[in-house]
Amino acid sequence: MFWLIAVTAWGEGVEFNRSVRPVLSDKCWSCHGADAAAKGIKLRLDQAEAVRGAGEKILDRITTANRARRMPPVHTGAALSAGETAVLKQWVEAGLPWEKHWAYLPPARKPALSIDGIVRARLEREGLKAAPRAGRETLLRRLSLDLTGLAPTLEELDREESYEASVDRMLASPRFAERMAARWLDVARYADTNGYQTDGERQMWRWRDWVIESFDRNKPFDQFVVEQMAGDLMPGAGLEQRMATGFQRNHRGNGEGGIIAEEYLAEYAADRVETMGTVFLGSTIGCARCHNHKYDPFTQKDFYRLFAYFHNIGERGRYFKYGNTPPFEMAPTPGQRKELDAIEEKIRAAESRLKPGEARGRLDWKPERDLVSREKIGPSYTDRFSIAARVRMSGASGEILAKTVPGEDPMGFGFGWKQGRIYIHLVQRWLDDAIRVESERVFADGASHAVAMVYDGSKLAVGLQLYVDGKPEKLRVLVDELNQDFQVKEPVRTGGEDVRFYGRRIEPLEVEFLAGTATGAAARRRQYLETVERGAWAEVVKLRREREELMDRIPTVMVMRETGEPKQAHVLIRGAYDRKGEAVEPGIPESLGPMPAGLPGNRLGLARWLVSHENPLLARVTVNRLWQALFGVGLVKTSEDFGSQGEWPAQMELLDWLAVEFMESGWDVKKLLKTIVMSETYRQSSAVSAEMLQRDPENRLLGRMTRLRMDAGQVRDHALAVSGLLVEKVGGPSVKPYQPAGLWKELSGGADYVMDQGEGLYRRSLYTFWKRTAPPPTMANFDAAGRETCVVRENRTNTPLQALNLMNDVTFLEASRKLAERMMDEREGLARGFRMVTSRRPSAAEMVVIERALARYREEYQRDPAAARNLLAHGDSKRNEGTDVVELAARTMVASLLLNLDEGITRE
Amino acid sequence: MTRRGFLAQVAAAQLAGAQTHFTPKAKRVIYLFQSGAPSQLELFDYKPRLKEMAGQELPDSVRQGQRLTGMTATQTTFPLVPSKFAFARRGQSGAWVSELMPHVAKVADKLCFLKSMHTEAINHDPAVTFFQTGFQLAGRPSIGSWLAYGLGTENQDLPAFVVMISQGTGNVSDQPLYDRLWGSGFLPTKYQGVKFRSQGDPVLFLKDPEGVSKPGRRTYLDDLAELNRMRLAETGDPETATRVAQYEMAFKMQSSVPELTDLSKEPASTFERYGPESRTPGSFAANCLLARRLAERGVRFIQLFHRGWDQHNHLPGQIVNQCRDTDQGTAALIADLEERGLLEDTLLVWGGEFGRTVYCQGKLTAEDYGRDHHPRCFTVFLAGAGVKAGLSHGETDDFSYNIVKDPVHVHDLHATMLHLLGVDHTKLTYKFQGRHFRLTDVHGRVVREVLA
């Protein structure tokens, strides 16, 4: 840690940024920074012009013996160390030289260099040597875990294949895309639930699969960014592009009763800005939400100019408790798309078989189909249903069909009239959890009409239609906040004549027939079809029904969709949703501007700027995160903060070299990763001497490879893979593997986790259902990000709970049993198991311990075969009945031992 | 590592060596969190004048245009509703406690009531998150995590931060809880709270599985350690040594946790004291008893959550049940701690995330009423180490609507809790996203008036 601060003498050009800026930022700017005016402080120390001429004053105030005058004030707790005081003195004496913060200058590189050239030169300056190259098996394991997330198989370990060929094979594997996607899910705060309070399920897995596919196809990273930021606004945007914008809907959504919608609308837009800041700019722009940023050049106005890009998608502040909240769209999988096309083709064919012709005579057809008997009426808020009746509206009010609890403003659903207006009520809680609409028209007392209502199960007032005498009737929306079911255990009451209830949406034409108002060619044609062409028509009807059923199964995904109506954004004073300040227009932070000419003034323009060469941050921040994924620590350790409070890059030259390389390659992710993993720097051994460990504990000088514990998903996936349980299927709805009973229920009293059966137990961990308020325990134990907010930095701890998890969780017990089945042969079994888990052959000394363990377990289970059977009963998969129970149990314990080895869950 | 990073780590390490900023009064905290928000009007904040005004509209001069939740904002009427329950002055101190809490009433002289608590959040999720992490949105460390990080543990065989949950019989479909309430936020995961459960293993994956014997497990761990040490000799990675130690700790937990949760050796008098419910695992009373046992073993932060306090409707019926769940256990815990000499270095905190409105939510009848969320005032009580027993601090107006004297904000409570533990709330920091974060953000005042 000392090489960075060893040089304090003024001299090389970088000294301001490297030595002075960190001191000013950490010790001075929280008062004398961009937000100084708000504190009534005149002197600013964050701008070259402001500092000029203040040298003596600064010296005086930081060195005075008078404690009351000395800066920083005691109460701030930000005292200057002797070293820091010295740095500031030298700075003043050198005439207060100033430099723009490094991260806002465009990255530049010396083209002749290479990763190894830069790293070696640095090591030489420090008087150090690079570590030797790691052994072949170690390297293959490292490469495989880093690029595919899984360790090499024995066959892969033994394959005659050059290192480069292995790299290419892995980059081409679908496992690579899954590995990259798994990390992106943390960054994008992806989850399968809404995250607040009830934390109901949402459906975003189509977006997750879009990410996998993007990495699989090696989509250029700039395109990857633009589509997620503004796919909906791209010219000719298709489903793929629109789906990509789900990135910005992955934030949590609050469906709690009683919340104030405006407050959360502001929250969602702010989350989008903050996430964009962290992921794409490595900047803590979120700090400028309530005041000017204290350390970095972002004003509060800048924050709300960014906010203005994200606040106009017509979303509701109160999200649905369960399911997706608009705007969302149907996102069929490629398979479903094919099914849909096939059905539509069939429908066209069936329709073409209908003979053209018309029936003559009376129109007496009535849509009887699907009439639900009175006892069965009890639709839920997600069901489609329709009601039709004839009523005479006499008196102040009356019910046509209702199923509500007794009393005023009741829960339940009601269709009736009051004060001359026809109403439809779908009510959970009268004031704030209901859809309540009524006719605009006021009908005369005693008027008699045919009425009908249709509901599409969307939980939205726009999903309701009212018809009077066969014609659509205009509705007034009183409340449009239905968020929970309105089912009640009450009898149905009816009040009209010929009241009909359908468990589907009836069509306008059917409504007309019911009203007796159907006339004209369309009606006659329909009657003809129903009566004369009965068989062929029935086929059409059946196919249309099939299409509807398919449509019901098609997943949806929440997306960004501009309303098209302008919506003025404002600075929110102190960040409070209800304190609007100055009006602002969309724009990028002034310090990073100006916006290049020719870009549109909307989110698409912002996205194009993000990936333009005018933005110095995106490439740096991205290569740094990729580096972090391989080396455990980024070249800038604070991968979430490249600002003044962030860490000075341990290897600036390397960071910029990679950033330029990345941009010049056309943002080619696979190429960049290949460049890194082909370097000798990556291929070094991770063994470390005590001396070196003390000198460079975090391996910032890259004089070796970093030895890293697998991440949470890898720990589980590895156990599944070596035991042969892993189901390698890409994409699809999230799955629910083993989880101790009661974890959901004890938090909410609601429904508990229902585990999958069969293949859902054995999919890779990136497909595990993620409930934000109760994440999967193994993932939480092994330091996975919580997915409540955007997380870019990795975190690895070493705890007793991890030990218990690996030893005792059914996931790992079952994997041990299945692994044991693969190591049953006397001569080679144990060594093979060891090699599958660690990717290397055990030493003789290690074999002694392992064989001794086996002998002991064998003896133990011989004494107690019941215990052996118990041990083998863990997990849903079948046991190989052909094996000896005692022997298998003994080897299961050995397999568990192997899976618990430090090395077993480590990449060296 | 930069110099600043290094210094920050040194500072944290100093504190982690259980070196506090000043001499602590409390060594540990037991926080009895009443989730859902208990009504101050029914329990501690006695408002006799409401009787005369029952059914009258809440005066605009009192509401002052302040925001209400979406559940009642569009109500056409806001009738005042007095508590149905009788109040009396209790003990020497004369603190007001209603008839709903007869046991707590008996220990009133040990308590310090903060009758002027207030918060910013108006809904459960942000409000509970605010109370437990000092911020309304997800992502910050919980109080217990801050303490585990800052003060470490006093018991090597148990976690420093333990959480227990119980479901009340009041509102049975009450608000859920969230793992983030005991999460470590941006602090390393090892500081997160460990949930002790009443079903299955008390700690997840604690028990050796069927088919693994205790001696078998011991030799397993010895073999594992031997193999790990061999690898350590090759790689020199200290993480491997740490892992060996963590497996030993896990082994110790396998006996220390069951020993802790095994109540069979508690005498009958204990269960008499804590009430019959304390024999039911997972009840609030049973958790109170476990809290005492955890305190005896030096666990730093013991966090209970009791759900069911969200009385929007049918308040009179529901709150009787809630109080029956919690009253005896709470009082027993205080008396028990005192008897064992633990109350003097244990800080006990009782309270919910906000209060409830003086006006009725929903239909007001002669028998029944409900109350909506009210962040502007509510009551929390403290007991034990370093707090003035028998004190009632702060006052609200005649409507229990606004605070008229000595407001105490959530951040102030946090600052005070840390102070009692010997920690200066402005100095317990962690650098994340370029900022030195604190539990109290940039706020918080130690409420010196309540310090003994």
Give the pLDDT score at A95: 87
Q: How far is A742 from chain B (nearest CA, A)?
A: 8
Other CB atoms within 10 Å distance of the CB of residue A59 = 16
CA–CA–CA angle A480, A198, A782 (5° rounding):
140
Q: Does B373 contact A at CB distance below 8 Å?
A: yes
Q: With left for phi above 0 and alpha for psi between -120 and 50, is residue A114 left, alpha or beta?
A: beta
Domain total in chain A: 5
Residue A37 pLDDT greater than 90, yes or no: no
pLDDT at B156: 83
Interface confidence (ipTM) of the complex:
0.91
Contact A693 B220 (CB under 8 A): no
Query: How far off is chain B from A309, nearest CA to CA, in Å?
Result: 22
A49 with A145, same domain: the answer is: no
pLDDT digit string (tens) for B333-367? 999 999 999 999 999 999 999 999 999 998 899 89
Q: B residues 1-30 near A, CB within 8 Å?
A: 1-7
Calculate the average pLDDT of chain A: 92
What DSSP element (H or E) covers B82? none
Whole-angstrom CA distances from A762 to A207, A470, A718, A833 are: 22, 55, 11, 20
CB contact under 8 A, A258 and B70: yes
Q: Which pLDDT score is estimated for B18?
A: 53
**Which of A26, A777, A871 is nearest residue B4 as measured by Cβ atoms?**
A26
A293-335 pLDDT tens trace = 988 999 999 999 999 999 999 999 999 999 999 999 999 999 9
Strands B161-167 and B301-307: parallel
Cβ-based neighbours of A41, under 8 Å, separated by 6 or more:
A31, A32
| Eight-state DSSP code of residue B410 | H
Phi-psi region of A578 (alpha: psi -120 to 50; beta: other; left: phi over 0): alpha
**CA-CA distance, B125 to B121, in Å (whole number)?**
9
Q: Is residue A108 part of a domain?
A: no
Q: pLDDT, tens digit, for every residue of A114-139?
A: 999 999 999 999 999 999 999 999 99
A176-181 average pLDDT score: 98
In this prediction, residue A369 has a pLDDT band, given cuts at 50, 70 and 90, of: low
Reported as a pLDDT band with limits 50, 70 and 90, residue A847 is: very high
Residue range A88-94: average pLDDT?
Answer: 88
Instruction: Look at residues B14, B27, B8 and name the one whose alpha carbon lies nearest to residue B422.
Output: B27
Task: Say how far apart CA B7 and CA B9 lie, in whole Å.
Answer: 5
Residues of B in contact with A286 (CB under 8 A): 433
Q: Which of A687, A709, A809 sits opposite B205 (nearest CB)?
A: A809
End residue of a domain, out of A477, A510, A532: A532
Count of pairs with CB atoms under 8 A, one residue in A, one in B:
290
What are the structural domain ranges in chain B?
A: 3-199+281-450, 203-273
pLDDT of residue A7: 38
Percent of all residues in chain A with a pLDDT value above 90, rounded to a whole number:
74
Partners of residue A873 in chain B, C-beta under 8 Å: 210-211
Residue type for A679, please?
Answer: S
Tokens of residue B113, six digits: 């009531």
Are A646 and B194 a contacting pair at CB < 8 A? no
Q: Answer whether A747 sits within 8 Å of B178, measured CB to CB.
A: yes
Same domain assignment for residues A165 and A206: no
Looking at beta carbons, which residues of chain A come within 8 Å of B234? 687
In this predicted model, what pLDDT tens digit does every residue of B405-433 receive, in sequence order?
999 999 999 999 999 999 999 999 998 88
pLDDT of B324: 96
pLDDT at A3 over 50: no
Q: Tell me what pLDDT residue A363 has.
A: 63
Backbone angles phi, psi at B74, to 5 degrees: -100, 10
Q: Cβ contacts (< 8 Å) between B435 and chain A: which residues?
A: 284, 287, 645
The CA-based angle A249-A250-A256, given to 5 degrees, is: 85
Which positions 30-69 of A are in contact with B (Cβ < 8 Å)?
none
Selected for mutation to probe chain B from A798, A856, A886, A899 (highest B CB count within 10 Å) is A798
Calculate what percentage of chain A has a pLDDT beyond 70.
Answer: 97
First-to-last alpha carbon distance for chain A, in angstroms, is 23
pLDDT digits (tens, 9 = 90+) for A760-775: 999 999 999 999 999 9
- Mean per-residue pLDDT for A590-617? 94
| Inter-chain touch B434–A750, beta carbons under 8 Å | no
Residue B133's pLDDT is 97
pLDDT, one tens digit per residue, over A561-582 is 999 998 999 999 999 999 999 9
Q: Which of residues 85-144 of B touch A (CB under 8 A)?
A: 122-125, 137-139
Q: In this structure, what token pair is assigned to residue A211?
A: 């990410």
Do both A519 and A394 map to the same domain?
yes
The tokens for A117 are 């050239």
Q: Residue B138: which of A296, A789, A856 has the nearest Cβ?
A: A789
What H or E segment, with its residue span, contains residue B51?
helix B50-53
Confidence of residue B1 (pLDDT cuts 50, 70, 90): very low
**Å between B227 CA and nearest CA of chain A:** 6
Q: Is residue A481 included in any domain, yes or no? A: yes
Query: Is the pLDDT score of A477 beyond 90?
Result: yes
Q: Average pLDDT for residues B371-382, to the nearest whole number?
A: 97
Q: A871, B137: Cβ pair inside 8 Å?
A: no
CB atoms within 10 A of CB A477: 13
Residues of A numbered 514-573 whose beta carbons fall under 8 angstroms of chain B's beta carbons: which are they?
Answer: none
Q: Which homologous superfamily is B3-199+281-450 in?
A: Alkaline Phosphatase, subunit A (3.40.720.10)
In this predicted structure, the answer to whether residue A62 has a pLDDT above a threshold of 50 is yes
Residues of B in contact with A748 (CB under 8 A): 176-177
Cα separation, A636 vs A704, in Å, equals 18
**Mind telling me how many Å the CA of A668 is from chain B's nearest CA?**
28
A108 secondary structure, DSSP code: -
Gap between the Cα atoms of B167 and B309, Å rounded: 10
Structure tokens at A18: 């490297």
Please tell me the predicted confidence (pLDDT) of residue A758.
Answer: 95
Q: Could you tell me the residue range of the domain that residue A25 belongs to? A: 3-99
Question: How confident is residue A360, by pLDDT bands cut at 50, 70 and 90?
Answer: low
Across-strand partners of B350? B32, B381
CA distances from A561 to A98, A200, A223, A458, B333 (A): 44, 23, 19, 18, 56
Chain-chain contact of B71 with A257 (C-beta, under 8 angstroms): yes
Helical segments of A578-679, H only: 603-610, 618-631, 652-664, 669-678
What's the count of helices (H) and strands (E) in chain B, helices before strands? 13, 17
Between positions 236 and 255 of A, the ones with CB within 8 A of B are 252, 254
CA of B169: which chain A residue's CA is closest?
A749
B94-99, long-range: CB < 8 A, 24+ apart: B95/B44, B95/B390, B95/B392, B96/B44, B96/B45, B96/B46, B96/B392, B97/B43, B97/B44, B98/B42, B98/B43, B98/B44, B98/B46
Taking CA atoms, what residue in A is nearest to B76? A431
Distance in angstroms (rounded) separating the CA atoms of residues A623 and A631: 12
Is B213–A809 a contact, with Cβ atoms under 8 angstroms apart? no
Q: Is the pTM of this model over 0.80?
A: yes
Q: Name the E strands within A470-559.
A: 471-473, 475-480, 493-494, 497-502, 556-558
In this predicted structure, what is the pLDDT of residue B390? 96
Residue A43 CB contacts under 8 Å (≥ 6 apart), including other chains: A32, A36, A50, A54, A57
pLDDT in tens, B280-334: 999 999 999 999 999 999 999 999 999 999 999 999 999 999 999 999 999 999 9
Percent of chain B past pLDDT 90, that is, above it, reads 85
Which residues 792-831 of A have a C-beta within 8 angstroms of B? Answer: 795, 797-805, 807-810, 813
| pLDDT per position as a tens digit, A379-430 | 999 999 999 999 999 999 999 999 999 888 999 999 999 999 999 999 999 9
pLDDT one-digit tens code per residue, A247-290 = 999 999 999 988 999 999 999 999 999 999 999 999 999 999 99
Chain-centre distance for alpha carbon A792: 12
Q: What is the DSSP annotation of B278-314?
A: GGSTTSHHHHHHHHHHHHHTT-SEEEEEEE----SS-
Note whether A500 and A593 are same-domain residues.
no
Residues A161 and A181 in one domain: no
CATH of the domain at A458: 2.60.120.200
Evaluate if residue B255 carries a pLDDT over 90.
yes
Phi/psi of residue B317, each to 5°? -70, -45
Q: Is residue B132 over pLDDT 90?
A: yes
User: How high is the pLDDT of residue A359?
Assistant: 61
Q: What is the pLDDT of residue A362?
A: 62
Rounded distance between C-alpha atoms, residue A358 and residue A344, angstroms: 25
Please give, rounded to a whole number of angstroms, the shortest distance from the CA of A389 to a CA of chain B.
Answer: 33
Is A190 in the same domain as A158? no
For residue B92, what are the contacts with CB-CB under 8 A and spacing of at least 6? B109, B390
* Torsion angles phi and psi, residue A878, rounded to 5: -75, 150
B-chain residue closest to A283, CA distance: B433
Picking from B377, B444, B440, B414, the residue whose alpha carbon sits closest to that of residue B31 is: B414
